[in-house]
Amino acid sequence: MGPYPTLTVAPNLETLAQSAQSFIFSILFGTTLISTAPNRQPVPTENTIKKASLLEIGEIYIPREVDMPCFASLSSAGPDAGSSAHAFQWGNSRVKLAISKEPSSRLRLAQVNGAFRIYLDDKVFIDNVKVLPLAAHAPNQAFLNLSGECMMGCAFCAMAPPDKKESLSPERVLRIVAISSKQNDFGAVAITSGIPDSVAATNGRMIDAIKAVRAEYPGIPIGSEAYIEDLADLARFKEAGATEVKINIETWPESRFQKICPNRNFPKTMESLEEAVKVFGRGKVTSNIIVGLGEDDADIIAGLKALAGIGVVPNVRGIRVGPKNREKLEKALGIVPNKVSAERLISLGEKHRNVLEMNGLTTETFETMCFTCRCCDIVPMADL
């Protein structure tokens, strides 16, 4: 059971507690988001409100004198693709932040008497924060990207276009998983890939990698994040040993998808999500929806409802804009998207949780990928 912030106090005290949280939020954001909500309304904790602020800012400066206990990870996929990043935890909240080279960055990590502390605009923001070791890309799991090159050219994606068309072999995957598995809290493997040549060949390599991991680690949960053209690939992923699948719809509605992912097929993606639920089951299929691509909240909610309606547990992710996607986004959208505000992330998180509950779904059924990592998004059932 996740840390749902149920306040086990009498209703009048609960209202007081909610007002206190509302007060904290109003100090942080200059607005009052939370009113006296009914008992079942998700209520963001102070930690979640802080996490949303960190996600909005997205990067942290770490001075040389800070003695980091582990190496940063250089991601080739995910929202921090192309940048080095560290993951942090305080309470049950986790976040992954890109490392900024700018000493004037709004967020700064410091070490005080050996303990790590995050400052926001020169004020102590989070004390006693843990720096999380990353197994491979993510804490507790080896999340491997077989190829950092992709021919699909999605506007938000930082992945490079095809060049060398190299891909990690199953042997190399096994070597990385073996190193990651030496960490005490190692618990999952996930495989994704850019598409350097064709969807069929890419999925074939992913299936081979999954088979190799399954043969060596019979009990480990294995996630797979793929683009599907041939629906029969889903049964092949399952037979190879994958336990969960992520097929990203990326945005909503279809007209925006066509601008953002011009070389991918929206109806085929929805069809493959439906098929994936048949093959893997409800609560074992997920899909990213990116916020900040010019849509309004009603679009996001419509997408969440459509996905949850077919048994998919969607994940809501704020856009991150950097040197590798700024130009592509401007070309596709006509504007460079702004950062998604903490307030919007929290507000959508509350609605996201409601949509999941309305459909009898939860993020807690997942054992791999982003719902267990919890570093890049406001995750319903974990964060609120």
For ligand SF4, the binding residues (CB under 6 A) are: 78-79, 96, 137-138, 143, 150, 152-154, 157, 159, 194-195, 227, 261, 369-370, 373, 375-376
Indicate the residue among 73 and 105 with the shorter CB distance to ligand SF4: 73
Q: How far is the CB of 189 from ligand SF4 (least distance, A)?
A: 12
Give the Cα separation of 10 and 78 in Å (integer): 42
Indicate the residue among 324 and 351 with the shorter CB distance to ligand SF4: 324
Those residues with Cβ within 8 angstroms of residue 38's Cβ, 6 or more apart along the chain or in another chain:
none
Q: How far is the CB of 180 from ligand SF4 (least distance, A)?
A: 13
Q: How far is the CB of 79 from ligand SF4 (least distance, A)?
A: 6
Indicate the residue among 134 and 355 with the shorter CB distance to ligand SF4: 134
Q: Rounded to the nearest 5 degrees, what angle is found at the Cα of 368, between the Cα atoms of 100 and 167? A: 70
Please check whether residue 111 is in contact with residue 99, taking contact to mean a CB–CB distance below 8 angstroms: no
Indicate the residue among 135 and 356 with the shorter CB distance to ligand SF4: 135
Q: How far is the CB of 152 from ligand SF4 (least distance, A)?
A: 4
* Element counts in the chain: helices (H) and strands (E): 11, 14
Q: How far is the CB of 85 from ligand SF4 (least distance, A)?
A: 8
- Name the residue type at position 219: G
Residue 253: cis peptide before it, omega within 30 degrees of 0: yes
Quick one: which of 82, 250, 84 has its CA closest to 158? 82
Quick one: which of 79, 91, 86 has its CA closest to 44? 91
Indicate the residue among 100 and 140 with the shorter CB distance to ligand SF4: 140
Q: How far is the CB of 18 from ligand SF4 (least distance, A)?
A: 28
SS3 state of residue 241 = coil
Q: How many CB atoms lie within 10 A of CB 353?
A: 22
Indicate the residue among 308 and 376 with the shorter CB distance to ligand SF4: 376
Quick one: which of 66, 34, 94 has its CA closest to 370? 94
